[in-house]
Amino acid sequence: MSNVKKVVLAYSGGLDTSVIAKWLQETYDCEVVTFTADIGQGEEVEPARAKAQALGIKEIYIDDLREEFVRDFVFPMFRANTVYEGEYLLGTSIARPLITKRMIEIANETGADAVAHGATGKGNDQVRFELGAYALKPGVKVIAPWREWDLNSREKLMAYCEDHNIPVDFSSSKKKSPYSMDANLLHISYEGGILEDPWAEAESDMWRWSVSPQEAPDSPTYLELTYENGDIVAIDGERLSPATVLEKLNKIGGANGIGRLDIVENRYVGMKSRGCYETPGGTIMLKAHRAIESITLDREVAHLKDSLMPKYAEIIYNGYWWSPERKMLQTAIDESQVYVNGDVRVKLYKGSVEVVGRRSSNSLFDEKIATFEDDAGAYNQKDAEGFIKLNALRMRIAAGKGRKSL
């Protein structure tokens, strides 16, 4: 007899999670609560309600989390200019802590003693979901069916549906994309299929959010982005909510061939994985944010942020959003954004994002000092001689003691 009485399942309404819902009922003899999150994946989430009801689920949660996702997770991450392994903008990674947070909230609301997810035992998501769950509810039981059952193929899952009268649209399932995809307001990812060969080029019809750079318009698109405390609050003078900002940037960026990425990354569980990503809005945001910081941040603050960023990115990628170290770094990052206010003008053209203007009332750029023309004594060039000699002192001493540099 299972000691689990009620479990909250992260439920999409697709094949895997529909099987999991029934499997949990049978294997654990427990009540299942389904939770479906709308984080901008571009598909209707409401049909999940009818599918859950058909499985006998009585408590069904379907939540629109798009604004919270961008405001409380995507924007804070972009304040740090976060990139994992030099390229990946962490579109999947940053969604998991929000989904986990809401799962735990629902568990508390419904009196559930367990949570369940559909992540496999090979990937990063199992780690992200479970680290978050334990951080937010230490005594919770986590059920990961892919680590317990023997339904390890699509054929076995389909057979399970037939044996248990699970309502799945078999005709549409057979036409499914050959890729494993994950989408939210920040990105869409593709894995599996021919992508498992790192030498094989991704098929042109795989991409869903963007045109190829070759097919993008022949004339550039200009955008003016307004920042307040490191976050975009307006596009071309129109104030927008966080989710609407990202939606608009995705649409415009995708139309200009922005944001495609093909990488092999190092998963936290130890293996290498090839994935393709479309992050049009995020690609624009990263470029523009660095531009507004370039005129508003103190040099040492900017350099310190850059040195901390790889660790911050690794923390998010590996699933430690709710850890004390991430919160500590976030406090420092957010403090650095107090003066990151102003406007950035970008030019989008055939897959590229070019910064062509930046301005701020908090700018540290002083034209009188930086000019190549007559600065009227604003900067004494003779001061540079002592500055250089002092910085060279340790090297001069070492060379004088016979230590060779060549």
Q: Which residues are catalytic?
A: 16, 96, 125, 180
Does residue 11 have a known ligand-binding role? yes
Phi first, then psi: give them for residue 203, nearest 5 degrees: -70, 140
For residues 98 and 379, give the distance between their C-alpha atoms in angstroms, rounded to a whole number.
50
Does residue 307 have a known ligand-binding role? no
> Considering Cα of 180, then 188, then 94, then 261, what sign does the dihedral take?
positive
Does residue 16 have a known ligand-binding role? yes
333-344 burial code (b ≥16 CB/10 A, e <16):
beebbebbbbbb
> Is 302 buried (19+), middle (13-18) or exposed (0-12) by CB count in 10 A?
middle
Does residue 38 have a known ligand-binding role? no
**What length is written for the chain?**
406
Q: DSSP characters for 232-290?
A: EEEETTEE--HHHHHHHHHHHHHHTT--EEEEEEE-TTS-EEEEEEE-HHHHHHHHHHH
For residues 6 and 110, give the distance between their C-alpha atoms in angstroms, rounded to a whole number.
8
Element housing 353 (H / E): strand 352-359
Residue pair 37/156 in contact by the 8 Å Cβ criterion: no
Does residue 17 have a known ligand-binding role? yes
Does residue 56 have a known ligand-binding role? no
For residue 8, the cross-strand partners are: 33, 115
Does residue 160 have a known ligand-binding role? no
Does residue 63 have a known ligand-binding role? no
Residue bearing tokens 């909230």: 105
Does residue 120 have a known ligand-binding role? yes
Tokens representing 309 are 């960023």
For residues 215 and 318, give the distance between their C-alpha atoms in angstroms, rounded to a whole number.
36
Does residue 124 have a known ligand-binding role? yes
Pairing relation of β-strands 6-10 and 141-143?
unpaired
Does residue 189 have a known ligand-binding role? yes
Does residue 93 have a known ligand-binding role? yes
Does residue 283 have a known ligand-binding role? no
Does residue 204 have a known ligand-binding role? no
| Cβ neighbours around 164 below 10 Å, total | 14
Does residue 10 have a known ligand-binding role? yes
122: helix, strand or coil: coil
> Considering Cα of 281, then 283, then 284, then 289, what sign does the dihedral take?
positive
Does residue 92 have a known ligand-binding role? no
Does residue 370 have a known ligand-binding role? no
Does residue 152 have a known ligand-binding role? no
Query: Nearest to residue 80, comparing CAs of 314, 347, 373?
Result: 314
Does residue 171 have a known ligand-binding role? no
Residue pair 189/275 in contact by the 8 Å Cβ criterion: yes
Q: What torsion, rounded to 10 degrees, do the Cα atoms 320, 189, 34, 124 define?
A: -30
Residue ranges of the binding site for L-aspartate: 120, 124-125
Residue ranges of the binding site: 10-18, 37, 88, 93, 118, 120, 124-125, 128, 180, 189, 265, 277
Residue ranges of the binding site for L-citrulline: 88, 93, 124, 128, 180, 189, 265, 277
Residue ranges of the binding site for ATP: 10-18, 37, 118
